[in-house]
Amino acid sequence: MQKYFGALTILLLLGLVLARVSMLKKRGIKAMHFGGTDKSDFLIPPFALFYFYTVFANAFGFWTPGGTAFFQSGIAGWVGVFSCLAGLILMYWSLVSFGNSFRVGIDQNLPDKLVTTGVFEVTRNPIYLAFALVLLGEFLIFPNWVALIFLIVGVVLFHRQVLREERFLRGYYGQFYEDYCGRVKRYL
Q: What is the total count of domains within the chain?
A: 1
> Does some domain include residue 188?
no
Cα 30 to Cα 21, 55, 94, 103, 108, distances in angstroms: 8, 30, 18, 8, 12
| CB crowding 99-114: b at 16 or more within 10 Å, else e | eebbbbbbbeeeeeee
Q: Which domain holds residue 154?
A: 2-183
CATH assignment at residue 160: 1.20.120.1630
pLDDT of the chain, 188 residues: tens digit per residue: 899 999 999 999 999 999 998 998 898 887 776 666 566 666 778 888 999 999 999 999 998 887 788 888 899 999 999 999 999 999 999 999 988 788 776 666 666 788 999 999 999 999 999 999 999 999 999 999 999 999 999 999 999 989 998 999 999 999 999 999 999 999 98
CB burial of residue 150 (10 Å; 0-12, 13-18, 19+): buried
